[in-house]
Structure 1
Amino acid sequence: MASYAQKNSFDSLDCLEVNQQQYYFFNLNAAEKKLGSVDRLPKSLKVLLENLLRFEDGITVKAPDIQAIVDWQKIRTSEQEIQYRPARVLMQDFTGVPAVVDLAAMRAAMQKAGGDPEKINPLSPVDLVIDHSVMVDHFATPQAFSENVEIEMQRNGERYQFLRWGQSAFDNFQVVPPGTGICHQVNLEYLAQAVWTNEDDAKQYAFPDTLVGTDSHTTMINGLGVLGWGVGGIEAEAAMLGQPVSMLIPEVIGFKLTGKLREGITATDLVLTVTQMLRQKGVVGKFVEFYGDGLADLPLADRATIANMAPEYGATCGFFPIDQVTIDYLELTGRHPDRIALVKAYSQAQGLWRHAGDEPIFTDSLSLDMSTVEPSLAGPKRPQDRVVLGQVPHAFQAFMDLSLKPTKEELRFENEGGDTAIDVEQASFENTDNGIFFELDGQKYPLQDGDVVIAAITSCTNTSNPSVMLAAGLVAKKAVEKGLQRKPWVKSSLAPGSKVVTDYLNAAGLTPYLEQLGYNLVGYGCTTCIGNSGPLPQPIEETIQSHDLTVASVLSGNRNFEGRVHPLVKTNWLASPPLVVAYALAGSVKKDITAEPIAQDPQGNDVYLKDIWPTQAEIHAALQSVTTGMFSQEYAAVFDGDETWQAIQIPQSQTYAWQADSTYIQHPPFFEDIDQPPAAITDIHNARILAILGDSVTTDHISPAGNIKKDSPAGRYLQSKGIEAKDFNSYGSRRGNHEVMMRGTFANIRIKNEMLNGEEGGNTLYIPTQEKMAIYDAAMLYQKDQVPLIVIAGKEYGTGSSRDWAAKGTNLLGVKAVLAESFERIHRSNLVGMGVLPLQFLANESRVTHQLTGQEQLSIVGLSDDIHPHQQLTVQVQRSNGEYEEFQVLCRIDTLNEVEYFKAGGILHYVLRNLIAS
């Protein structure tokens, strides 16, 4: 990490005394004398401004970069590239394992090149939280938690041994063991400090707590006034190794909140409304900053819920300034009194404190009176598609109607602006029994379209929020008292984001009621929200498959893309935890639970949602069970782990001893030629098209995720290594093995390749023989013949979670360029970071306008070592019938730093080459 105050052109270095401790800081008010007023600068940009003042060195950060942030106020946008250095890095285990694998591979490469492998070390603090590995194999029993944890340790022992080695081998690297919590909730409740401190040149410095994370929902921490967002694992590794995050000064959209939520409305209803509004506004790649006097009554947990969903509304982050609500939360969660005093004093001294009536300058703004928010869900397959609770049956029926339409365009179920592509109001709806039954434990039960087969309280989004978690417990209590039970076809699960949730549910006396409805603790982790929902009971799975039923999941998560939650569940609905419980009782999304009875009690009396819905007074009373002592107790030994974790044996060595027979951890090939000069940048000639994809292709579609199919390339590879199908585990758990991951790239069962007329599944047409085969198999045949490959796509390519393997796998398949109508921010950056060229069609042009079918050969002309950001390149199209066409495309290498990374072969190659040279 660069030293502070190398230049200090704006005389901003100052001193602040708090509780008899002196802190040096870069005072924005002092810098105003030379920079001009920053009083109305958005507070999120003030955080960036401080960062540049602190790291001004005349090389990576120059005085004009700093001035550009202040000048932003004049035009409210900027084309200025800046180099930003976050204070720390946060990881979860799925994305963290390949990052540690890469660091281990870099150490091996450094040693091979004759350098000191211990030069490869995080320079910024790194926290890795193991939260993505537990699956819901067992549920609705008192033993579910212990049984799921036991299976998790068996499945992931090799990965966990590797992570424990990393914890001992690398400095500045901490691991939160499994069974502790979700990374974003642990970050919110413990790791984040709001104001960070560090010693440099024997001086103690104070500055805003900032971070990047390898999960897109890193944004949750912005609810605490901590600027943070998700990056790919590739960028995170570079940040760990001292490289700044290269970015353009962002546009900032102000979101004004006024009023209060009405009785019975939850924070989830609010966040789904905000998500829909911002997605319609169009905030991709922008900061969103919340302001307005409504914030005074918006609890910190509600702010975090909104900030968490920034990837769903498309923003880089959703920032909430520090105020008294922040201080109260720091006190509740047991932060040290000296740190709390520093947060308040520093924020007020820097102009980062929110005051009533604040009206910063924004690029644009919108507002919401919170009293207008209605009960809502989002679905059936996009988080921005909000549906008012009473309209859910019609939305489901409209989806069914749309699914039966024959044209490809209608089947896409996608359109711009975030509006659902279905007409909910016009959908005709009839609730009929289709006469299909399954047998479970000797009893026969009906199963029909629209039935809820998964109802999961899961995900950092809502389990970090005591008000909605306690509301779920209160719904369960009232339901049990009325003699209600969940429907027998519903798989119910409770996966809190931290052990504190268990403590306060116990203290409030609500755990027994949740358990009576099948909401036993299944684990502390992301579970259903990331596809770790586990299998449905076999009779239910068989019935769904044999009758091609369109069933539903309801989850308190943040993602509901088709195929994500469970491969057999086509419609997925995001809902608040109390509504998750309500739908477990109702058993179907075809039931209007605002008007129809949710169920009947044992005496046959109708019970309505209003009969079991808690009042604000009841929720407020339950909230008194949440105490500071719970946080202090649960986080006192957060890095220790249980006996099983502590018993894992690890080798004590500075480089990792790779195991040739491992199917979890393999030495990746990325740095094999690092001791050779990088190859010159040249045109791409006679490339073949590997796939043609539509709009909104997510990283879930591209990156290996979920279950590994037995007959897939990855499944065949594992069987060749003696692994039985029952022990495949998930793609996410095997992210440390490039052989598995490259075979699973573009292998999602829901991906639609237009080269095969939109057929679902990870297949393509191998052009030389016109044979249909798995995308991996075709790519390997092309690689054998040294044929470069290109992927063609529509709008918003790479939306969704920040998955580095979406870029790594693309690279290893031999794809040299991706040509799309637009890219999501993180994935575009990751492609550059892996040496894959992102190209964008010019306005009003697309694969359709250029009539690309996949039979063509493409050449990309204009590439050379003087490549520069946003230059136009020429695509030459040679069609199979001999016709020839040329058109221009935009090179989406966006910054000068990215040019250097691309020339070096990727961002990690750039870092490693520099370390070897030094």
Structure 2
Amino acid sequence: MSDSFSTRSTLNCNGKDYEIYRLPALEKDVSTLPWSLKVLLENLLRFEDGKTVTRDDIEALINWDPNAEPAQEIAFRPARVLMQDFTGVPAVVDLAAMRDAMKALGGDPQKINPLQPAELVIDHSVQIDSFGRKDSMDLNAKIEYQRNQERYAFLKWGQKGFSNFKVVPPDTGIVHQVNLEYLARVVFAQENNGVLQAYPDTLVGTDSHTTMINGLGVLGWGVGGIEAEAAMLGQPVSMLIPQVVGFKLSGELPEGATATDLVLLVVEMLRKHGVVGKFVEFFGDGLDHLSLADRATLANMAPEYGATCGIFPVDEETLNYLHLSGRSEEQVALVEAYAREQGMFRRKGQAEARYTSVVELDMRHVAPSLAGPKRPQDRVPLDASKKMFNDALNALKAERNLESHAASGSINGQEFELDDGAVVIASITSCTNTSNPSVMIGAGLVARKAAAKGLKVKPWVKTSLAPGSQVVTEYLNQAGLMDDLDSLGFNVVGYGCATCIGNSGPLPEPVSKAIADGNLSACSVLSGNRNFEGRVHAEVRMNYLASPPLVVAYALAGTMDIDLVNEPLGKDTGGNDVFLKDVWPSQGEINALISSSVNREEFTRVYEDVFKGENRWNALASPEGQLFGWQEDSTYIRNPPYFEGMSKQVDEVQDIHGARALAMLGDSVTTDHISPAGAIKPDSPAGQYLLEKGVQPADFNSLGSRRGNHEVMMRGTFANIRLRNQLAPGTEGGVTVHLPDGEQMSIYDAAMRYKDENIPLVVLAGKEYGSGSSRDWAAKGPRLLGVRAVIAESYERIHRTNLVCMGILPLQYNEGETATSLGLTGKETFHFEGLGDGSAKQLAVRAVSDDGSEKTFTVRVRIDTPQEIEYYRHGGILHYVLRQLAA
């Protein structure tokens, strides 16, 4: 590696010499550069190679202009990759497929391993089938293994078969909380080419809430599977040097307010300010009054306020947490020494960084709040919640012309009557809040005080407690609060991402019937981060985010149609009204229990052998050997055909002739429209495939759980029920016409017919093609359907990169031109000429109608960097890496 700026230096710590790239050694003072950009700058200095990272890239970051629109693209190489099981399985499938391909090329399959540390936590598969029982967790785990045995056996093979890859087994914790409590290093110590280096812990993760680790001073964010695979295989993640918004915190939270209330206000403020695509960096004296867990709560919800990350600096609180959570004294010392040496340790009185803009909040103004009924940024002050609920309900009923009436039922001999606003799900769940002892112990104390007064949860409420790690139950037991939560039905149902991602499980049948009979707008209250309509449960129309203590309170009330500040939760054993203030703990009570119950020994005990797993995992049979034993009859794990017919030599780039349009789409087609997601319908191509394989609809599981089977995913690509394809006007969903005969059929069936006819495919699109979350199957699916090129008016940046990484040619109409202005119907035959070796910046397109008439126009080739040209020439990033390793 180059060292144009002469920053290579030595840090002595723990009696060892570490090579570092020292920021204070730069000629220009970068002390007022935002903390997060210092991390990026060190990354560029360490990986300067004159090709992927040049001197100009580094100078652009050194001379960062806070007000300039992002334009400079840089190559970021994260230190590690973090995955959860839904999004991680396809990445491991691709690695396994690369091993087979390596063998076919005559190379050594053992060369195929993650080149950067990769860690996967199985946490997205547990569902709340059983609740309100002492044995609920065991019952749910049993069902979880039955549903996911094949996927788990595959991951267990990967755990043994790949080096540099670790799997945290099911029922351990939520990926982001395990990352915070155990996996994160903050500063890496790694030997590279015989030299011991120290450098910042950075990561990309295959889950949007990867940002939670920003609370610990670790820069990382969520990406799609393709970027994660690239990072695992040593390839840089392409990004623009971002704008950075500073969020200045002052004061401290008042009595009765929680970190949840703080983050809901921050989400509201930053959504209004506008931080999409930007970094957010928290600073100010208010940080002195925020625990590490509070910071993690704020960082976790960066996707909800729209930022790439929401980061905190390393300071004394970071060091305290590292010690509490069981990190070694040597590691804590290295973190402190490195951060201080690099000018990256927060201290009082230091100069403020330069920011693109600054948002300020005095935390003394934070008040108890909810968010809902369908967006995390729609904050509802608790003292106005009843009115705002009724306003939202009336708006919903008017919008959908809903008529409802009260309906009755019976559960375990208890008669009940439900009306609009009934809380049918109350769940303490998700990574956002279950990592925070303050709100978890607060919830336990509310349960204790309520139970002591004789209050009970309403019979129609499905209660659940899904902690983010086993440490939570350790300190709840230590504090004696677990029994209190159990007494109200908040039994542990599992350790995983549950209600927040829709794994809430079925409602009791009498409750479901009452909702249906009355056409009711039922509610959920959860301590999660997302409450989009239809996400939590199909039968629940209105969803509210709240702190864990408020989740318990609403379970006791049983309805959203209540003013919890002024109306009673219920009556005590003496018939007296009990108000929320009567069961709400003081911060002093909470802090006292934290001091006596949360300790280092709990963390070290829980994580002592975290990769080993419990009995079910250890008893699970899995394949052996360096090559995975693919099963032709598997409906979960299949060998994808990316590498069929691949040779060691790179084929010449060919122009594309005789292409047909598979779809002609409008503006703002998102990756959700393209990528397979959600339930599998029996009459869909994916459902028909599973039925042919003997899978019954009850066992379909979701498209997300079958991401390791390309046959299912291909059939679910472009199958979103809201997709509108202009080639099939008047239809919604994955419908197109086969050309030239015009027969209407599913997009999948048309793609397969074109494949049989050896006809390449193109997609025509409008503005912002591929916007939304980065999803690997939004590029993988089209590639497997035979799409060779996309012509769009503009692209979401990451999706454009993903298309290149899968060997699909992203083309863009010239300014002012569109499919409409060019007179395209989508029924033409397309010829793309002049691509050369892949480095062409413009391309000629001939669109030939069936009557022989032609339209000729030029398009921009959106292969934007020299590295992307290499990926495209090779047929995609996986092919590129495979050939590099085979050589």
Q: What is the TM-score normalised by the length of structure 2?
A: 0.91
The CA deviation at 1:346 is 1.0
The aligned counterpart of 1:622 is 593
Q: For 1:739 and 1:657, locate their aligned partners in 2 and report how far apart those are by CA, in whole Å.
A: 18
Alpha-carbon distance between aligned partners in 1 of 2:703 and 2:561, rounded to the nearest angstrom: 33
Aligned counterpart for 1:576 among listed residues 524, 547, 551: 547
Q: Give the conservation status (yes or no) of the 8 Å contact 1:73–1:361.
A: no
2:611 maps to: 639
Instruction: Flag the 1:682–1:884 CA change in 2: closer, same or farther, 3 A.
Output: closer
In 2, Cα distance between the equivalents of 1:723 and 1:387? Answer: 44
Cα distance between partner residues in 1 of 2:236 and 2:449 = 53
Deviations 1:462-506 (A, max 9, x none): 111111111111222222222222222222211111100011111
Question: Which residue of 405, 416, 439 corresponds with 1:468?
Answer: 439
Which residue of structure 1 lines up, in the alignment, with residue 334 of structure 2? 342
Is the 1:72–1:78 contact (alpha carbons within 8 Å) kept by the matching residues of 2? Answer: no
* Alignment partner, residue 386 of structure 1: 379
2:96 corresponding residue in structure 1: 104
1:294 CA drift (Å): 1.2
Q: 1:174 to 1:499 in 2, by over 3 A?
A: same
Q: Distance in 2 between matches of 1:486 and 1:25?
A: 57
Q: Out of 404, 413, 416, which is 1:445 matched to?
A: 416
2:105 aligned with 1:122:
no
Structure 1 residue 13 displacement after superposition: 2.0
Are the counterparts in 2 of residues 275 and 312 from structure 1 also a CA contact under 8 Å?
yes
Q: Deviation per CA, 1:74-118, whole angstroms, max 9, x where unpaired? A: 865653332222111111111111111100101111111222212
1: CA distance, partners of 2:731 / 2:533? 12
1: CA distance, partners of 2:556 / 2:652: 62
1:145 alignment counterpart: 137
SS in structure 2 of the partner of residue 72 of structure 1: coil
User: Amino acid of the residue matched to residue 867 of structure 2?
Assistant: N
Match of 1:719 among 681, 691, 708: 691
1:208 Cα shift?
A: 0.9
- Greater shift, 302-311 or 478-487, is seen at 478-487
Once residues 354 and 182 of structure 1 are traced to their aligned partners in structure 2, the CA distance between those partners, rounded to angstroms, is: 29
Give, in whole Å, the separation in 2 of the partners of 1:444 and 1:755. Answer: 52
**TM-superposition CA deviations, 1:309-340 (whole Å, max 9, x none):** 12222222111110111111111111101111
Equivalent in 527, 540, 553 of residue 511 of structure 2: 540
1:799 equivalent in structure 2:
772
Identity of aligned residues (%): 57
Match of 1:179 in 2: 171
Which residue does 2:761 correspond to in 1? 788
Kindly state the Cα deviation for residue 270 of structure 1 after the two structures are TM-superposed: 1.4
**Matches of 2:549 and 2:864, distance apart in 1:** 44
AA aligned to 1:722 is: G
Residues 6-45 of structure 1 correspond to what in structure 2 (within 5 A)? Answer: 6-30=1-25, 32-33=26-27, 36-45=28-37
Q: Which moved more, 1:303-312 or 1:397-406?
A: 397-406
For 2:420, the aligned partner's letter is: D
Q: CA deviation at 1:434?
A: 1.4
| Mapped contact 2:66–2:244 kept (Cα < 8 A) | no
CA contact (8 A) 2:66 2:355 kept: no
Gaps of 5+ in 1: 1-5, 412-427
How far does residue 730 in structure 1 lie from its aligned partner after superposition? Answer: 2.9
Give the aligned residue type for 1:464: S
In 2: Cα distance, 1:531 partner to 1:255 partner: 32
Give the residue type in structure 1 aligned to 2:871. Y
Q: Deviations over 1:863-889 (max 9, x none)?
A: 7347679x7889999999999999998
Q: Secondary structure at the match of 2:499?
A: helix
CA distance in 1, matches of 2:861, 2:504: 40
1:809 aligns with 2:801: no
Q: CA deviation at 1:544?
A: 3.6
Q: Which amino acid aligns with 1:659?
A: Q
* Distance (whole Å) between structure 2 residues aligned to residue 39 and residue 222 of structure 1: 20
Other-structure match for 2:560: 589
Deviation at 1:834, TM superposition (A): 2.5
- Which deviations, in whole Å up to 9, do the C-alpha atoms of 1:873-914 show, x marking residues without a partner? 899999999999999987665544334333433222222233
Within the alignment, does 1:57 sit opposite 2:49 as a pair? yes
Aligned 1:134-533 pairs, distance under 5 A = 134-357=126-349, 358-403=351-396, 434-533=405-504
Contact 1:41 1:73 in 2 (8 A): no
Alignment correspondent of 1:833: 805
Confirm or deny that 1:911 pairs with 2:884: no
Q: Is this contact kept in 1: 2:208–2:222, CA < 8 A?
A: yes
Whole-angstrom distance in 1 between the partners of 2:262 and 2:727: 41
**CA–CA distance in structure 2, aligned partners of residues 579 and 271 of structure 1:** 15
- Aligned mates of 1:481, 1:710 — CA distance in 2: 50
Superposed displacement of residue 599, structure 1: 3.6
Give, in angstroms, the shift of residue 601 of structure 1. Answer: 4.2
Hey, what's the Cα distance between the residues in 2 that align with 1:772 and 1:591? 52
Q: Distance in 2 between matches of 1:310 and 1:276?
A: 12
AA aligned opposite 2:54 = K
Q: What amino acid is the match of 2:626?
A: Q
Equivalent-residue separation in structure 1 for 2:345 and 2:579 (angstroms): 45
CA 1:577–1:759 in structure 2 vs 1: closer, same or farther (change >3 Å)? farther
- CA deviation after TM superposition for structure 1 residue 522, in Å: 0.8
Between the aligned partners of 1:386 and 1:843, the Cα distance in structure 2 is: 40
CA shift in 2, pair 1:862/1:274, >3 Å = farther
Alignment equivalent of 1:46, drawn from 30, 38, 47: 38
Q: Whole-Å Cα distance in 2 between the matches of residues 618 and 854 of structure 1?
A: 69
Please state whether the residue corresponding to 2:643 is helix, strand or coil: coil
2:715 to 743, 758, 767: 743
TM-score where L is the length of structure 1: 0.88
Residue 554 of structure 2 aligns to which amino acid in structure 1?
A: Y
Structure 2: runs of 5 or more not aligned: none
Cα distance in 1 for partners of 2:214, 2:529 equals 16
| Contact residue 367 and residue 381 of structure 2 kept, 8 A | yes
Instruction: Judge conservation of contact 2:404–2:518 (CA < 8 Å) in 1.
Output: no
**CA pair 215-875 structure 1, distance change in 2 beyond 3 A:** farther
Distance 1:845 1:392 in 2: 49
In the TM superposition, residue 55 of structure 1 has moved relative to its aligned partner by 2.0
* Deviations 1:213-247, CA, capped at 9 Å, x for gaps: 11121111111111111222212112111112222
Query: CA RMSD, aligned part only?
Result: 3.5
Quick one: distance in 2 between partners of 1:866 and 1:251? 35
Partner of 1:610: 581
* Aligned-pair CA distance for 1:815: 4.6
What is the count of residue pairs matched by the alignment? 882
CA offset digits 1:518-541 (Å, max 9, x no partner): 211111110111221122223333
What amino acid maps onto 1:9 in structure 2?
A: S
C-alpha separation in 1, matches of 2:710 and 2:63: 46
Return the letter of the residue paired with 2:368. P
* 1:33-73 Cα deviation digits (max 9, x unpaired): 3xx11111111111111122222233332322222211115
Answering whether residue 663 of structure 2 is matched by residue 690 of structure 1, we say yes
Taking structure 1 as reference, are residues 864 and 573 closer, same or farther at Cα in structure 2, changes over 3 Å only?
Answer: farther
The one-character-per-residue Cα deviations of 1:105-153 (angstroms, maximum 9, x if unpaired) are: 0111111122221221111111111111111111111111001111111
